[in-house]
Structure 1
């Protein structure tokens, strides 16, 4: 208990606020009205609860993994914070989503492997992780008849679409099960953070980072090769990568805010206000317009079929 008190005592006020805000927003956005929003059947709550729990677990695991890899508390917490408020992550957490549960399984396996340096143990841990991933996400492209039926042009088009500004920040049309496609994978207000984070990572690039890029590249290729594109879920697995970039960008701007002049502080304050406004707007669209759209689509399907 004394060590716990000392740990909290060493934290800055901003860090404590970030932890509290992340925890509250994570629980409320995943559990509150889970059986009602989005509209579902009588048993929607119990069908969605495992996914909601997996969503919360994925945020916790991401924080632990980033902290284990970098030993930077703020970076880990910021990564978890941006994952907790990510539009796509929230949307997937409130429906039955094998991809969300699969993400938690992969993150859990990765975290365990970080506690050993022996290759044989890492491989031993990887096997049950992959089996668990298959059990919860059997529709993953690699587990079926993986053949690329697209032309080279179509495949390259899909690849570039998945990393385009329009897809990432404006229109996420990977609407599996009628998902929330009014917003992008990330909020528009986080674009400056994303650019700053990419700039930092490119500037401080280390060849040791390549091994951590391999999973991203594999998922990127698998998602782009899906014959049902853009209606695919595989790309959802890279959301922790995107929020890590935002976390690096946040630290970049935070340093500028602390040491900047009044003009820089004013610009950054405006960006923060815009970010808060867009987050409120997202929840408004999700709770009102998105729910109404789902109701109308189901009403149309009932009348038409």
Structure 2
């Protein structure tokens, strides 16, 4: 095939990847959820003050209201927020851009390893249309950036093997280190996979100087991270989700040991932490490869998956199996590389409590699965070419049939994503807060005080984000809900005017006072529909509805 045609095809795939990740980014997913707002407000604070919103100067780990977070996505997002504003575009565009660039970078990585244009184009195409990759490139998830950094580090490492240039060694070490500052999955995956890659492609006896440069750069750059893990708060979230700290496992062990008619010594042999940990790891690891997860429903969380399709499209299943069989049979270096990636990728998720179906923690699987699908597609194409010699009509019919199935499935996926997904997933994306807060902000100057219900979802970060509240005023805020702190209600105040409270259930007449604007939840604070028939002591200023048209929030005051 002519070189120009390959170039045009690559540009077409890149354009397709860009459109699938950028079009309607402010509309679908239907709203910025809590973690995205956190990313955006941290980025806003870094841009405005050089500090995170808790006041830490140029932190190597960011302090949020309820956790500590890896910082690199926030630093990358800061210039986007500066250019596009504190909104959906400013927050989501970095993931969309780096997700799109990953498609291009993966093409070059595969081509560098194999020198096969068709295979490289197919890999890029499969990643471009992957529901798994699209889902995480259209929201401010850290993993899209993490994958870009890891593939960039691999490309630099392979360039190093050819050029022997120390610049590539420095770049590889830096990109791998930055991936560890992006999402915790990289902390386990990157060291293991760098080791595998060096064993396959960089014999130590010939490359020890350059491998040493990669290692030194990597180790120097992760010193602050290691310090945070050992002496700081970077390991807090890991402890929260790790099976090694899970009290349910301990409870199960204790329960098994006290069954009637059992010998305590024997029970200790069969029921102990190493055995239970091993069982959980194996279960999580095996489930990551299950058809239920990969092809049927995907992640159980609506933010991570559409549920109507799996993490991959169905037509990839036979291609994946063909590609897997081919790679195992070939047993060549390039095939061992992708198989090794596929086997290592689920390990970080396997040591977490809910890692079996967690598409975020399993996100690194998307690359080897795309590569194996591409190998399978090439083999199918070669078999089809054999039919062409026997019967042009049969060849054309088979080609149309094979082309139609993926196209129909992809169009079905896109139809569901745009027409149905916003209605099915709205609760997971915390819909309604944008309209509610923006409406409240437009009215709050008319009132002496504002009181916001904060038990439906934590409302503080939503107010800070959509109001574009000055970050320096939040640095030392105590956001802990305290009993009887706000006019006899549990809560806290942001300033003299704005307070976040727990009304304790249904809003009562005695809690409503003149001169105060209230933002309340229909689910938590209202028994009936107040849009048309509110109590006599309430004046409903505005009703905020969910995508189905049902009441979600009310802006009210005393009547």
Q: Is this a same-fold pair by TM over 0.5?
A: yes
Q: 1:78 and 2:69 equivalent?
A: no
Given that 1:187 and 1:278 are in contact with CA atoms closer than 8 Å, whether structure 2 keeps it comes out as yes
Structure 1 unaligned segments of length 5 or more: list them. 1-7
Aligned-residue Cα RMSD (Å) equals: 2.8
Shift of 1:133: 0.9
Instruction: Map residues 136-151 of structure 1 onto 2, 5 A cutoff.
Output: 136-138=182-184, 142=188, 144=235, 145=238, 147-149=242-244, 151=277
Query: Counterpart of 1:160?
Result: 286
Shift of 1:299: 5.6
Q: 1:32 and 2:163 equivalent?
A: no
Shift of 1:148: 3.8
Query: Counterpart of 1:292?
Result: 423
151-160 or 53-62: bigger deviation = 151-160
SS of residue paired to 1:39: coil
- What count of residue pairs does the alignment treat as equivalent? 296
Shift of 1:55: 0.5
TM score, norm. by length of structure 2: 0.49
TM score, norm. by length of structure 1: 0.85
**Bigger RCO (CA 8 Å, 6+ sep):** 1
SS of residue paired to 2:298: coil
Deviation per residue, 1:122-179 (Å, 9 max, x gap): 7644431232112322575647347543633322221111112222211211637454
Deviation per residue, 1:188-241 (Å, 9 max, x gap): 122221122112212212267445544433321112222132335121112111
Question: Structure 1 residue aligned with 2:177, among 118, 127, 131?
Answer: 131
Query: Counterpart of 1:274?
Result: 405
Given that 1:159 and 1:224 are in contact with CA atoms closer than 8 Å, whether structure 2 keeps it comes out as yes
Structure 2 unaligned segments of length 5 or more: list them. 33-85, 189-233, 245-275, 433-455, 457-520, 525-559
Question: Structure 1 residue aligned with 2:138, among 94, 101, 116?
Answer: 94
Given that 1:178 and 1:294 are in contact with CA atoms closer than 8 Å, whether structure 2 keeps it comes out as no
Instruction: Map residues 1-305 of structure 1 onto 2, 5 A cutoff.
Output: 9-11=2-4, 15=6, 18-41=9-32, 43-117=87-161, 118=164, 124-138=170-184, 142=188, 144=235, 145=238, 147-149=242-244, 151-173=277-299, 175=301, 177-206=303-332, 209-229=335-355, 230-260=357-387, 261-262=390-391, 263=394, 266-297=397-428, 298=430, 303-304=522-523
The structure whose residues are more often helix, as a share, is 1
* Separation in structure 1 between the aligned mates of residue 334 and residue 116 of structure 2, nearest angstrom: 18
Given that 1:168 and 1:185 are in contact with CA atoms closer than 8 Å, whether structure 2 keeps it comes out as yes
Query: Counterpart of 2:441?
Result: none
Which one has the largest radius of gyration?
A: 2
Deviation per residue, 1:260-300 (Å, 9 max, x gap): 14556534432321111000000011112111123255369
In the superposition, relative to structure 1, how do residues 19 and 207 fare at CA in structure 2: closer, same or farther (>3 Å)?
Answer: closer
Given that 2:281 and 2:351 are in contact with CA atoms closer than 8 Å, whether structure 1 keeps it comes out as yes
Given that 2:304 and 2:359 are in contact with CA atoms closer than 8 Å, whether structure 1 keeps it comes out as no
Query: Counterpart of 2:501?
Result: none
In the superposition, relative to structure 1, how do residues 17 and 274 fare at CA in structure 2: closer, same or farther (>3 Å)?
Answer: farther
Given that 2:111 and 2:120 are in contact with CA atoms closer than 8 Å, whether structure 1 keeps it comes out as yes
In the superposition, relative to structure 1, how do residues 212 and 275 fare at CA in structure 2: closer, same or farther (>3 Å)?
Answer: closer
Given that 2:185 and 2:349 are in contact with CA atoms closer than 8 Å, whether structure 1 keeps it comes out as no
